[in-house]
A and B are shown apart, each in its own frame.
Chain A
Amino acid sequence: MRSNLKTPLFIVLVGIAFLSALLGCAHRHAYITDDMYSNHVGDITRNRGLDDDDFQRCFAEDSTVQYFNYSDGFRYKGEKKALNDFFNENYQPVHKKNQSGYIRIRFVVNCKGESGQFRVLESDEHFLPKKFHPKIVNQLLRLTKKLDGWFIVSDGTHRALDYYQYLIFKIEAGEIKEIMP
C-alpha cells in the first residue's frame, strides 16, 4: 500500500513546490518597468517642438558621452563657484506654497562647448514626481540656457566629444538651496 502512494505523493509535492515558486515570484516584490529603453539610459533625442534648430551635436546621438566619462568631472569656466554665483545673482526666489523638492535640467554640450536640447525633471523632497510653479522652472531653464562656460570634453586621443551634463537644483520654499553636481 505504502509503495503505491509514494510516487503520486512525490508528484503532488513537486507540483506544489513548482506552483509555490510561481506564485512566490508573483507576490514577492513584483517588479514593474514602464521604460521603453533607449540605447542608453537618459538618451535625449531631438524634439523639433522643444529644441533650438541652431544647436547641433558634432556626432551621432549614440556617441554622446556623460560629463564624467573622460574629463575631471564637472567642469565650468570659473569653476562651480562661478556657476553658483550666477544663479545666486540672477535667480529670483518664488515664495509660493509647496515649492520644495528637486529640479533636474539635463542637456547636451557639443564638441564646441555649446549647450542645447534641455530636458526638465521635477520631484518633491521624497523623489516622487511633482510639478513646480512655472515661474521657478522657467527661470531655472532660462538661466541654464544662458550658461556659456562649459568645458569641452575630449577622449584619450584629444578628440572633442559631445556630452550630457545636468544640473540638479535642490529647492526649499521656492529658493535654491544647493546646485548639484
Chain B
Amino acid sequence: MKKRFVLGFFVVWSSFSFGQSCASYKLNGDTLRYRSCLKCEEAYKHYQFSREFQSLMDSAIVIDSSYYLPYRQKSVAYLKSGDFVTWKRLIDKAVECDEVSVLGYRASCRYQFFRDYAGCIEDIDRLDSLVAQDIGEIHNGDYHLNVIKAISYNALGKTAKAIDVMEEHMASDNFYPLLYDYFLLGYFYLEQENFSRAEVLFRQQQEVNDIAENDYYLARTYLLMGNREEAKIWIRSAKNKYLSQHTMYDQYTEPYGKIYLGDIDLLHDEVLSD
C-alpha cells in the first residue's frame, strides 16, 4: 500500500512538474510556446527513435517554429545513429532559435560524437561571448565545456593552448573537479615533457576518480623520468584496475585518452625490458 502511494505520488508529481515547466510560457502569455511545449511532453512518452516521437516533435514545430526544443530533441536519434547530416541540419535550426540554450550542447556533440574539434571550440567561444556566467558542463556532466575546449586544442596539436585553458579553468572560483580533469591536464603536461607537473596531477586524479588510464600514464611518466621501479608498480596497478573495470567509460563513444588492455600490455613489456 505504501509502495503504491509513493509510486502514485511520484507519477502525479512528475506530471505536475512537466506541466509546470510549460506553464511558465503560459504565464508569460506565450500561448504558442506553451502549446508547443506540451506537444514535446507528449512526445517524451515515446522512444526517441520512434516515428511517433519524431512526428509529435514535428507537430510541436508546426505550432511554434521558433522554439528550439523540438529541433534539438529530434536531433538526438540522428546523433546516436551517427547520421551527422540530418543531425547537423536539425541542431543548427535549434541554435538559430536559441543560441544560449543550445550552443553548449552542440559543442559537446561535435566533440563527443564527431571529433569536430574546431567546431567545438568555435561554439564554446561563441557561447562564452554571449553569457556573463559560467558556461557550464556538457550534457552528460562528465566534463566542463572548458575541459572539452582544452581537449580539442590538444587534439589539434595545440597542447600549450590546451594547458592554458585548463589551468585558467581550474583556477576559477567556481571550479570543482569532475571525472577526468586532473588526468587530462596531467596527460597534456606529459606530452609537453613536464614530468614533474604530470606526476603531481596524476596523483591528484587518484584522489578524485581512480582509473586505469591514470595509472597507465603515471607509469609512462615514471618510465620517462628513468624510474623503472615506480613504473612497474603503476603499470601493474593499471592492469588490475582495467580488469576490475575501473576505467574511463561512455555508453556511446570513446572518451579522450582512453586506453585498452593491449596498450597496457605493450607498456608493461616496455617497462620490464632492459
Contacts and interface: CB of A to CB of B under 8 A. Distances in A.
Interface of A: 21, 25, 28-31, 33, 35, 37-42, 66, 68, 72-74, 78-82, 102, 104, 106, 121, 123, 125-129, 164, 166, 168, 170, 177-178, 180-181
A2 to B, nearest CB: 28
Contacts of A82: 262
Nearest to A102: B84
Contacts of B51: 37-40
Contacts of A40: 47, 49-51, 77
B84 A123 contact: yes
B65 A25 contact: yes
Contacts of B263: 81
Interface of B: 32, 47, 49-51, 54-55, 58, 61-62, 64-66, 71, 77-78, 80-88, 93, 96-97, 113-116, 249-254, 258, 260-263
A104 B251 contact: no
Given A79-B260, A181-B253, A66 B82 contact: no
A36 B244 CA distance: 46
A166 to B, nearest CB: 4
Contacts of B93: 29, 31
A73 B251 contact: yes
A79 B262 contact: yes
A73 B80 CA distance: 12
A121 B253 contact: no
B62 to A, nearest CB: 8
Given A25-B65, A66-B49, A73-B250, A180 B81 contact: no
Contacts of B80: 66, 68
A68 B251 contact: yes
A79 B84 contact: no
23 contacts: A29-B97, A31-B58, A35-B54, A37-B55, A39-B51, A40-B49, A41-B83, A68-B252, A73-B251, A74-B253, A79-B260, A80-B254, A80-B260, A81-B262, A104-B82, A104-B84, A123-B84, A128-B85, A166-B81, A181-B82, A181-B113, A181-B252, A181-B253
Contacts of B258: 80
A104 B78 CA distance: 12
The 7 closest A-B pairs by CB, nearest first: A127-B88, A42-B81, A41-B77, A166-B82, A81-B260, A40-B49, A79-B260
